[in-house]
Structure 1
Amino acid sequence: MRALLVFLLVTCAAMPEALHARACRAGLVFEDRDGDGQQGEGEPGLAGIAVSDGQRIVRTDTLGRWKLPLAHGPSVFVIKPPSHGLPTGADGLPAFWRPLPRRGDESAPDVDCAAFALRPRAAPAPEPLKVLLMGDPQPKTLVDVVYYERDIVAPLVVAADGNPVADLGLTLGDVVSDDASLYPRMIELTARLRTPWLHAAGNHDLDFQAMGDVRSLDSFHRHFGPDTFAWEEPQASFIVLDDVIYQPRAGKPYIGGLRREQFFFLEAYLATVPRDRRLVLVAHIPFFDEPGRETFRQSDRERLFAMLEPFENVLLLTAHGHVQRHYRHGPADGWHGSEPLHEYNVGAACGGYWSGEKDADGIPDARMSDGTPNGYARAEFRSDGSYGLFWQVARGGDAAMHLHAPRVLRTGSYPAAGVYANVYMGEADTRVEFRINQGPWRPMARTDEPDPALRRENLLDDATSILRGYDRLPEAEATTHLWRATLPTDLGDGDHAVEVRAFDRWRGEVRASTTYRLVDASP
């Protein structure tokens, strides 16, 4: 007994001062073969499984046991390995974390040893891995929650016909719009998708009454667990990061960036990842800056990119802007890899904040400021490291673009009017062509203009004396994926067919069509 007392005294003296208030935490990771979430006979502990507090990572021993000093983070979690799955908790979300008491919170009960159940895969891993990406669902009220349910969730559930809608789901922040009381209903809807679902934190998930960044995600942590963690599938490792730094006494209440302990976690985790493995970083605020201002701290971006540079296959996924765009990082951004670093800035599930005129089903237009209809993205990850990305318009079938053109022009008038193609997944090098009446294909030119179809809605809102919707659509802003071609006026009177085709990087050739009419007229 005396020897044990001496051991405990020495151990506690060796701990950092911040850890004195709590003893070391320990637990177990076991193989849950019967799926009941409890370790029973014939369900061994699993060796070599990573467990973390969001800063340090430890591995289970040969019996599946782990030990981790308690830090000031919100939770302890298991990093799901590719070989296993996780049970769902009572809320329907993956049970991969346990809450921890806060430092200095003496009223909090001591934490029992946490046991994590991992379920062996019943079948080979799917190929490719199919992932759903939800940027900014962001309901302001329960009315918006209903829009999210009817516009996004219900069609997915119907199409899945009782099966999971994907192999994995990711919400890229702004789960709600400044109202944490909506979390339970959003979680309930997410559970209907029957898919392991992970959540990143966004700026509208902050507790704005917090005095600083440390406690600004208390509500988020209670519902979703850690804000920084990793999750492994056979095809890729996913790293979810809270990149919203709350600064209540600054001119802007938040800025994009990473905390010191997040870099500690990244350093510990990346040291375990093979250099050729696909890495997918998931966050809310884009890693690139908006023109003319720093929206993500440069020093943090450079430090992060230096850590990622040795890896051959890295993809960044962000949201926040309520637009759809791709960004290729290079030396000007602090990226010095052999190839540009791809960031896909995913459009918003709520689009333009659930705004605009309602359709026949009573759901708002909700298109974004770049003209992209609201929806979600589908991603596929393959074992060879390759991936595919696809924008899915809510209730929009396979629509990959929309066209805008005049309905009627005068025959022989000066050719100044044009057809516009908003290609949702387009990039600067996307090939976009048009033809008239089955004629030869001709190139369209990319243009940095606002989407004219959205501008038309803005003008209609300006012209009316009544509200067309609860909130009007956002003002049209210049888009990165708009193409234009001039329409000929010398084809003779009558209707003329316009076809547009674009060569999507992942879907291949996609098409859309419209018509315009030429009429003879006298002065």
Structure 2
Amino acid sequence: MKRRKFIASFLLLSGGVVLSSKTALGFPGIAGARVRGTVKARGKKLANVIVSDGFSVVQTDRKGRYEIPFNAQARFVFVSIPAGYAIPNENGIARHYQPFNSSDTKQEYHFELTPLQQDDTSHRFIVWADPQVKNKNDVEEMQTTAAPDVKRLVQSFGAGALVHGMTVGDIVWDKHELFSSYDKAVASTGIPFFQALGNHDMDYNKGGDEASDATFQSLYGPTYYSFNRGKVHYVVLDDVRYLGSDRHYDGALSEQQLNWLRKDLAFVPKEHLVVIGLHIPVHNGVENNQELYELLGDRKVHIMSGHTHYNRNVVKDNVYEHVHGTLCGAWWTGPVCGDGAPRGYGVYEVNGTDMTWYYKSTGFEKDHQLSVQVDDSEGQKYMVANVWNWDPEWKVAWWADGASMGALESTKGFDPLAVSLYKGKGLPEKRGFAEPTETDHLFRAALAPGTKKLKVVATDRFGNQYEQSVEVENS
């Protein structure tokens, strides 16, 4: 009893949700059984707040009350945090839900929210993809490089800045005892984090897709849900479908999730921005991606994914998918991912329904957005620029010995640094399976004999210019 009171007091003081439940006796399957509760803020009843059990999606009435039909498959009752309210969290881990005891048909779940002291129309968020820690050395890297980098970034935004985080899966690398180490890293950043399920976060060989989520759900709650900040509706989905044995899985969105999402979006104004976080890239890794695209309609949507250990941006009509380079790079073996993008994470700045972004390389300043290398592996020297967060709206130009050489077009290829670090038997020494990855965010040009100095300027879609120069070694 003392521990329960302590947790409730902690959440209240940390701007979180105070959760309480009152369970009456009942029997599963009784016709008309309901789940009931209220949503309040400092005792004030909150109307029009969305509450769900993952099947039904309802809105509180003018007295802050809601009712959900009893569903024996439901595992949680969760609130879609409305704009203008703090993100409930416990040491940085979002707690916007309560476990649902499906053995009783009559239950009451009450949510107490905390109003923000400022307008949240403008805010920021960061996206971690694939921390994927497997041992104590990986954990040390995460806790001493990545987490402090985020903390410094958040502090640079100034006191009171509204920032939250999303980790889009593969929090650990099958070692579930290391979830607590991730939690400590999150706590040290000073911002609340939401989590999506990755293939390495699942329970193997314990049943089908639903059974594989058990450990994750015990630590982080539902695998799909939504929340709001300003004029942005955030959705987290589970697109990893476990196939029941060993590490076999594929990318798919269950009909249950899609049905829930359709109901959830019905309460979201069409003009609001929608941001979706999940693990496997939708554009090429989810077999029923067209169902998701059709459900989203013509809304303005950004999808945040990971899984691939490379950075890539894919624009499909009204949907912009950000496939993030990983927090761990190439599995904590070197400074870059397989495509040459540095270890790092996405940073997003929201103003109303407009959003800007950049890729933050761990240990570097914001302006570190490209690398320039000289490759002479083919008997001819080439300038190779890697602009890792490039999309078709970027412009890239180069100079040789002070003379403008014009614009460059993107090309597919392998980053020279990634090749030197990861290609070949026994490389990298720590995890030899890591290999360089072909990417489309490279820019190449043949160099004239005797060229001494190169400069590349990349201009992103928002007009920000980034410059990198390099000296050419001539024998």
Compute the TM-score of the two structures, normalised by the length of structure 1: 0.79
TM-superposed deviation, 1:157:
2.1
TM-superposed deviation, 1:507:
5.6
Partners of 2:159 and 2:429 lie apart in 1 by 35
Q: 2:112 pairs with 110, 117, 122, which one?
A: 117
The aligned counterpart of 1:348 is: 326
Compute the TM-score of the two structures, normalised by the length of structure 2: 0.87
8 Å contact kept, 2:375–2:416:
no
1:307-360, Cα deviation, whole Å (9 max, x unpaired): 11132x11111111110001122xxxxxxxxx45221111111111111xxxxx
The farther-off stretch of 301-310 and 197-206 is: 301-310
The aligned counterpart of 1:326 is: 313
The code of the aligned residue for 1:475 comes to E
TM-superposed deviation, 1:132:
0.5
1:121-165, Cα deviation, whole Å (9 max, x unpaired): 2122252x2110101111012321111111110232245449578
Partners of 2:172 and 2:159 lie apart in 1 by 26
List alignment gaps of at least 5 residues for structure 2.
1-25
1:208 aligns with 2:208: no
The code of the aligned residue for 2:295 comes to M
Structure 1 pair 21–395 and aligned structure 2 pair: CA distance change class (3 A): farther
SS of alignment partner, residue 183 of structure 1: helix
TM-superposed deviation, 1:183:
1.3
The code of the aligned residue for 1:239 comes to V
Structure 1 pair 193–112 and aligned structure 2 pair: CA distance change class (3 A): farther
Partners of 2:207 and 2:111 lie apart in 1 by 34
The aligned counterpart of 1:94 is: 94
- Cα RMSD (Å) of the superposition? 2.7
Task: Compare CA radii of gyration and give the structure with the larger one.
Answer: 1
TM-superposed deviation, 1:202:
0.8
Structure 1 pair 68–119 and aligned structure 2 pair: CA distance change class (3 A): same
The aligned counterpart of 2:280 is: 285
Number of residues paired by the alignment? 446
TM-superposed deviation, 1:474:
2.2
The code of the aligned residue for 1:350 comes to C
8 Å contact kept, 2:411–2:442:
yes
Partners of 1:18 and 1:448 lie apart in 2 by 57
The aligned counterpart of 1:435 is: 399
1:392 aligns with 2:360: yes
Structure 1 pair 416–58 and aligned structure 2 pair: CA distance change class (3 A): same
Partners of 1:379 and 1:429 lie apart in 2 by 17
TM-superposed deviation, 1:429:
5.2
The farther-off stretch of 373-382 and 439-448 is: 439-448
The aligned counterpart of 2:253 is: 258
Higher strand share: 2
TM-superposed deviation, 1:394:
0.6
SS of alignment partner, residue 217 of structure 1: helix
The aligned counterpart of 2:23 is: none
SS of alignment partner, residue 457 of structure 1: helix
The aligned counterpart of 1:138 is: 132
Partners of 2:241 and 2:383 lie apart in 1 by 43
Partners of 1:421 and 1:134 lie apart in 2 by 25
1:513 aligns with 2:469: yes
SS of alignment partner, residue 260 of structure 2: helix
Structure 1 pair 217–22 and aligned structure 2 pair: CA distance change class (3 A): farther
8 Å contact kept, 1:390–1:507:
no
The aligned counterpart of 1:359 is: none
TM-superposed deviation, 1:77:
0.3
**Identity over aligned residues, as a percent?**
25
Partners of 1:181 and 1:20 lie apart in 2 by 40
8 Å contact kept, 1:165–1:195:
no
1:372 aligns with 2:372: no
Alignment of 1:269-284 (within 5 A): 269-284=264-279
List alignment gaps of at least 5 residues for structure 1.
1-11, 33-42, 290-294, 330-338, 356-364
